[in-house]
Amino acid sequence: MSDKLQKVLANAGIGSRREMEKWISDGRISVNGKVAGLGLRVEPEDKIRVDGNPLGPQNQKTVCRVLMYNKPEGELCSRKDPEGRATVFDRLPRIKNGRWIAVGRLDINTSGLLLFTNDGELANGLMHPSKEVEREYAVRVYGKVDDAMLKRLKAGVKLEDGEAKFTSIRRHPGDEESMNHWFNVTLSEGRNREVRRMWESQEVTVSRLIRVRYGDVELQKRLPQGGWVELELKVVNGLRKLAHLAPETETLLKVDDKKQLDHVQISRMRRAVRKHQIKNKQ
């Protein structure tokens, strides 16, 4: 059975389908010695090269993997930064086939849950607006917040790139008399700085923003900032279901891998993060 070239490349973990379409248009992909064009379908035995480098045999299945990363403020969601600033890819484990792809982005001042996968099709499916995968954020805003404002944010507010709304808003108790207010908000899309821009449209300022959930995956409370864990097969398949993909049948996790972080693992992660931070400052 043949597949579209951009799908094969995405499944190999090289990038999203959209990225692969651009690479094909730019002439960076060849099939059986000829520069490929958009719309080309390939067979498992076809020889594919990316920038002159051979792609592994298509019939060698790559196991779908997903990492949970607790992003600190100050890290960029880029592979490399011309100014040498820290990026979310710096401390991820090395991968033999393909590369880690970030599922969505968080801006430099936002912390919390960031998912990575080696499956470009899964990443694209989880990010695509048509799938309406829910994201949840804990947000601290400064300014006067009343019920009328919360009603507007749930009904929909106009931004420069269209209307946006929260699907739910939950106020944290105990801060009614303060000018700083904590809320948990959810929305089903991931436009650039959308949560911040929605609150700013109501003339209040976001002073903290933490993503705490993506789909059914919640940020592990004991996972240190800058730390990562690989998700078990059941959780991976929950994400694949959200993206309307067939379940994965294999995992690279060992049977005795712990589902919950213990003190030893947490301490080891914190030491590794501190060591990395010191190295970056030098």
CATH number of 66-129+217-281: 3.30.2350.10
Q: Provide the residue ranges of all domains of the chain, joining segments of one domain with +.
A: 3-54, 66-129+217-281, 134-214
Stated as kind and residue range, the H or E segment containing 218 is strand 217-218
How do residues 153-169 score in pLDDT, each as one tens digit?
999 999 999 999 999 99
- What is the separation of C-alpha 227 from the centre of its chain, rounded to a whole number of angstroms? 15
Which string of DSSP letters, residue by residue, matches 47-63? -EEETTEEPPPTTSPPP
Mean pLDDT of the chain: 88
> Looking at the predicted structure, is the pLDDT value of residue 218 above 70?
yes
CATH number of 3-54: 3.10.290.10
Phi, psi (degrees; rounded to nearest 5) at 237: -70, -25
CB 99 within 8 A of CB 149: no
Strands 180-187 and 205-214 turn out to be: unpaired
Q: What is the pLDDT averaged over residues 38-42?
A: 93
Q: Is residue 257 very low, low, confident or very high in pLDDT (cuts 50, 70, 90)?
A: low
90 is catalytic: no
Q: Is residue 7 very low, low, confident or very high in pLDDT (cuts 50, 70, 90)?
A: confident
Name, in order, each residue with C-beta under 8 angstroms of 77's C-beta and a sequence gap of 6 or more. 71, 87, 88, 102, 105, 106, 107, 114
> Looking at the predicted structure, is the pLDDT value of residue 256 above 50?
no
How do residues 63-88 score in pLDDT, each as one tens digit?
899 999 999 999 999 988 888 899 99
Is there a common fold for 66-129+217-281 and 134-214? yes
Candidate from 68-72, 139-143, 258-262 with smallest mean pLDDT: 258-262
How do residues 157-214 score in pLDDT, each as one tens digit?
999 999 999 999 999 987 667 789 999 999 998 899 999 999 999 999 999 999 999 9
What span, in angstroms and rounded, lies between the C-alpha atoms of 82 and 85? 8
Q: Is the dihedral of CA 26, 31, 35, 38 positive or negative?
A: negative
Catalytic residue among 46, 51, 107, 262: 107
Q: What is the pLDDT averaged over residues 107-117?
A: 96
Please report the pLDDT score of residue 141 as a whole number: 96
Who wins on pLDDT, 25 or 129?
25
- CATH architecture of structural domain 134-214: 2-Layer Sandwich (3.30)
Residue 208 three-state SS: strand
Please report the pLDDT score of residue 30 as a whole number: 95
